[in-house]
Structure 1
Amino acid sequence: MLKKLFSLLIIASLVYALAACEKEKTNGIISEKEGVEYYQKGEYEKALPLLGQAADSGNAAAFYYLGLMKREGNDTAKSEEKSCEHFLKAAEGNYKKAYLKVAECFFAGKEFKQDFSSAFKWGKKAAGVVDEIQMDDKDRLALAIIMGNLYASGKGTLQDFSEAAKWLHQAAEKDYAPAQGMMAFFYYSGQGVLANKEKAKYWAEKAASQGDMMGEFALGMLYQYRDNPDMKEAISWYEKSAMKNNEVAQYQLGRIYENGTGVKKDLTKAHHYYRLAAKSGKDYPIKALSDFERKHKLENNP
């Protein structure tokens, strides 16, 4: 009898604990809904404590909206780090709208630790719910930029130009100039897509019209390496790109003036552009500068 009574007491206590847990969860949902309503009205002072209460109950949606408030500094101290921490908790709680925000945090790595593998992981998850959460155009663009860059660079995942082109094409169509410049190179080189000079020129012109340095450089290449080269136009576009500290354009101008490609050979200009390119710290322009100075017995004077 005593054993049976003891068992009943244990069951009763478990039921009570579960009920308390469920009550806390329900309260968290109510607080989250009220908090979101206040947030959407711009009444942040009322939203903050309610969302905080819901988050304390483990409500993933509440963490997401707290993340938004921390990011914008809505009635709370602005903090990208805290914002990202909230977004991560929301994403780990399977709040799908938070997936992209976490990917952005890991990709940018400003106040939050940069981690391309994690950026790719959450980006992939965000890509899987684009239609489900009715992702808006702004977020679709952000996702395309992140995934396109990661696939193109091979950071956080295996380098895949085909996937990179797929994502960057989406960004290019949304008038994102750097993606348009990259699409020009993909179509010019045939990486990730079938080579197509007409499409390369189309995207290069779109990018260059917005002052994008890679679009300008791509136009330079198209003018230099077409069947009937137009070096005047090529140099003009390379110079525009070089002025924006594009070391590839600076390097190309160095080669043109060193070799006298379609222009009068000018070692002073060649030296100038090689030095500018070498300031990027990248290996190939540093080597080019060293080779040039050794060949022409020059010193790297500022």
Structure 2
Amino acid sequence: MMIFNDIEENLSNEEKSDLEKEDIKLENYKEKTINNEENQFDICKKSALKGDKVAQFNLGCYYHKGIYVTKNIKKAIIWYTSSAEQNYSKAECNLAYMYMVGKDVPKDLKKAFKWSLRAAAHGDVNSQFNVGYMYSEGKGIEKNIKNAIKWYSLAAKQGHTNAQCNLAYIYDFNEDGYKDIKQAIKWYTNAANKDNPYALFNLGEIYYIGDGVDQNKEKSLELYKKAASLGLDIAKEKLKENFNNKD
């Protein structure tokens, strides 16, 4: 089982987007500066007009969420883009998020891929996962498993558990000839050790079948139970069908 079937679910599952994180940050900041709103906005705008990429990003957030100013998506995109063109990864992430899910703008996976790729190249781990996903599923770009492995690997090495799980899936299910059960077990195990339910289930499948390892149904049962305890329905079904409803 690969994570995810839908790009919007992909973005909303493991971690909140940078856009959502920034919303929280700015709203908290607003509470502290409620009596100085005009000053805060004006200072930010002056810095943005001088080319400060962080100020441009914050100004984009202000317009996007209607903080200190009337909400204006066109202006938000202008300022996010100005910041993103200076390689500010948070702005790149916000643009990617908006175009991926069609939030306040028409959904456009090609634009989403463009900005995700830029953010990924600048080291943003969630964007590296998203680029890997888009390559693996052919979303916004032609499907390319070799490139998916590249970007999943970068995110996986930084501890992104969904990237670890999807990388393992490619090696497990021989996507485009990349079968490598040792690598699959390695990355499933890394993700399972961090309680990723999909990795726990898929690792359970490997031990249940005995694919590249000695068959071990006791270990598979343990892994299925852990995945089920984390709410994974397919693991619950597996327990009912193959282990006589053991709990």
- Report the TM range for the smaller structure's normalisation: 0.5 to 0.7
The CA deviation at 1:72 is 9.2
Q: What RMSD, in angstroms, separates the aligned Cα atoms of the two structures?
A: 3.9
Q: 1:184 touches 1:203 (CA, 8 Å); kept in 2?
A: yes
Task: State the AA in 1 paired with 2:207.
Answer: Y
1:230 aligns with 2:222: no
Q: 2:116 touches 2:128 (CA, 8 Å); kept in 1?
A: no
The CA deviation at 1:207 is 0.6
Equivalent residue in structure 2 for 1:178, among 141, 151, 162:
162
% same residue: 22
Q: Deviations over 1:5-41 (max 9, x none)?
A: xxxxxxxxxxxxxxxxxxxxxxxxxxxxxxxxxxxxx
Pairs within 5 Å for 1:1-302: 46=39, 48-52=41-45, 61=53, 63-68=56-61, 76=68, 85-90=77-82, 94-97=85-88, 98-109=91-102, 114-126=107-119, 130=121, 135=122, 137=123, 140-191=124-175, 194-226=178-210, 228-253=214-239, 256-257=241-242, 263=243, 266=244, 269=245
Cα distance change on mapping 1:90 and 1:172 into 2, 3 Å: same
Tell me, in whole angstroms, the C-alpha distance in 2 between the residues paired with 1:142 and 1:44: 32
Q: 1:220 touches 1:235 (CA, 8 Å); kept in 2?
A: yes
Q: 2:81 touches 2:92 (CA, 8 Å); kept in 1?
A: no
Q: 1:187 touches 1:194 (CA, 8 Å); kept in 2?
A: yes
Instruction: Identify unmatched segments of 5+ residues in structure 2.
Output: 1-32
Task: State the AA in 2 paired with 1:202.
Answer: K
Report SS of the residue matched to 2:175. coil
Which one has a bigger Cα radius of gyration? 1
TM-score (norm 2): 0.65
Instruction: Identify unmatched segments of 5+ residues in structure 1.
Output: 1-41, 258-262, 271-302
The CA deviation at 1:180 is 1.2
The CA deviation at 1:171 is 0.9
Cα distance change on mapping 1:163 and 1:253 into 2, 3 Å: farther
Q: Deviations over 1:75-133 (max 9, x none)?
A: 737979689535544268x4432434311332355565543232112223445xx4xxx
Cα distance change on mapping 1:105 and 1:172 into 2, 3 Å: same
Which residue number corresponds to residue 15 of structure 2?
none
The CA deviation at 1:175 is 0.5
TM-score (norm 1): 0.55
